[in-house]
Amino acid sequence: EDQVTQSPEALRLQEGESSSLNCSYTVSGLRGLFWYRQDPGKGPEFLFTLYSAGEEKEKERLKATLTKKESFLHITAPKPEDSATYLCAVLRGGGGADGLTFGKGTHLIIQP
Amino acid sequence: KAGVTQTPRYLIKTRGQQVTLSCSPISGHRSVSWYQQTPGQGLQFLFEYFSETQRNKGNFPGRFSGRQFSNSRSEMNVSTLELGDSALYLCASSLTANTEAFFGQGTRLTVV
């Protein structure tokens, strides 16, 4: 069974204090790993897709990396508007469409 | 380019009733997936439709069903509602199965 574990569950940072969020996964044949951001009462907003170990992607203050067992979302010099829940999800390879398996998320709070 | 549209945004139903939720995917997207989000379980895959065919189904009872129309719009139905069905129901669309999924704002269902 596919499993995705995100840590920490919650993280409180000061504005400008960089940190990393972790996503550990167990999946039979990874087709892709996805990062989403979700604000309260809204649907998840797509951030990145990573397909193979060693791949990195960047967008503004965010950088996602992937190894064979985990992914990191690095946040550099965060601002209060980066406060949100960050979700990691994996998609298994194979012939069927099994849907995304999500982690429980990391609730990030950036204090001014 | 319009995003994923879900209607209604909020719904209150009584135990035992049934409910139909609607999702219009991004133009050109042929794959529509449905997810249930609760505080305890997080985001869980319900089912995925591609070209009007259900390709896979998550671990939910038969009370949860769906369909997709020729224009890619999708509906999901929950019959004989239970209190535990209260959740945020999210629809996601993608170009094809197994590519980046873009989520709608969700339908907040409350069963009383």
Is the pLDDT reported for residue B96 higher than 90? no
Residues forming a β-bridge with B109: B11, B87
Q: DSSP character for B84?
A: G
Counting residues of chain A whose pLDDT is more than 70, the rounded percentage is 96
Which residue in chain A has the smallest CA separation from B101?
A46
Higher pLDDT, B25 or A92: B25
A95 CA to chain B: closest CA distance, Å?
A: 10
Q: How far apart are CA A5 and CA A25, in angstroms?
A: 6
Position A2 scores a pLDDT of 84
Which among A3, A83, A8 is positioned nearest to A39, based on CA atoms?
A: A83
Average pLDDT estimate for B46-63: 92
Asked if A44 and A88 count as a contact pair (C-beta separation under 8 A), the reply is no
Select the residue of A31, A34, A43 nearest B104 (Cβ to Cβ). A43
pLDDT score of A109: 98
- What is chain B's alpha carbon radius of gyration, rounded to the nearest angstrom? 13
Q: Which strands, in side-by-side order, build the sheet including A62-66? A: A3-7, A19-26, A70-75, A62-66, A56-59
Residue B98 in this model has a pLDDT that exceeds 80: no
pLDDT tens for A4-51 read 999 999 999 999 999 999 999 998 888 899 999 999 999 999 999 999
Handedness of CA B80, B81, B85, B89 (dihedral sign): positive
> Which candidate in A4, A51, A98 is best for mutational testing of the B interface (most B CBs within 10 A)?
A98
Mean pLDDT of A94-99: 62
- Report whether pLDDT(A94) > 80: no
**Is the peptide bond preceding residue A80 cis, with omega within 30 degrees of 0?**
no
Give the pLDDT score at A86: 98
CB contact under 8 A, B90 and A103: no
Mean pLDDT of A53-72: 97
Residue B97 pLDDT greater than 80, yes or no:
no
pLDDT classification of B73: cutoffs 50, 70, 90: very high
Distance CA B102, CA A38 (A): 12
Q: What is the mean pLDDT of chain A?
A: 94
Distance from CA of A11 to the nearest CA of B (A): 18
Chain A residues lying within 8 Å of B95, measured CB to CB = none
Q: Of the candidates A22, A28, A27, A31, which has an alpha carbon nearest to the alpha carbon of residue A3?
A: A27
Higher pLDDT pick, A2 / B81 = B81
| Confidence grade of residue B20 (pLDDT, cut at 50, 70, 90) | very high
Closest Cα in chain B, distance from residue A99 (Å): 6
